Amino acid sequence: MNAAAILARGGSLLPRLAINPDLARQMIVGFIRDAIHKAGSTRAVIGLERRD
């Protein structure tokens, strides 16, 4: 069913956005490790309040 038909029935497109959490987790964990190691580091710094 296309987006217009879903919306015309009062439905939501959010189910289409659903991800496979296990796969996403595996991909992002690998990405972080790879990106940090390629820059010659093994560590990360994260801001827990960035905008307030």
Partner 1 sequence: MSGGIDSALVAYLSAEALGAAQVKALRMPYRTSNPDSLSDAQQVIDALGIATETVEITEMAEPLFKRYPEMNAQRRGNIMARLRMIVLYDQSVEFGGLVVGTSNKTEMLLGYSTIYGDSAAALQPIADLYKYQIRQLSLAMGVPRSILDKPPSADLWEGQTDEGELGFTYDQVDQLLYLLVDERYRPEECIEAGFDAAFVQRVWRQVRLNHYKRTMPNIPKLSARTLGHDFLYLRDWTG
Whose tokens are 């010659």? That residue is: 40
Binding to partner 1 by residue 47, rule CB under 8 A? yes
| Residues 6 or more apart whose Cβ sits within 8 Å of residue 36 | 42, 43, 44
Judge whether 39 and 31 are in contact, CB under 8 Å.
no
- Residue 21 makes contact with partner 1 by CB under 8 A: yes
- Residues in contact with partner 1, counted by CB under 8 A, come to a total of 38
Determine, following the binding rule CB under 8 A, whether residue 1 of this chain makes contact with partner 1: no
Chain positions contacting partner 1, by CB under 8 A: 2-4, 7-8, 12-14, 16-19, 21-22, 24-25, 28-33, 35-36, 38-39, 41-52
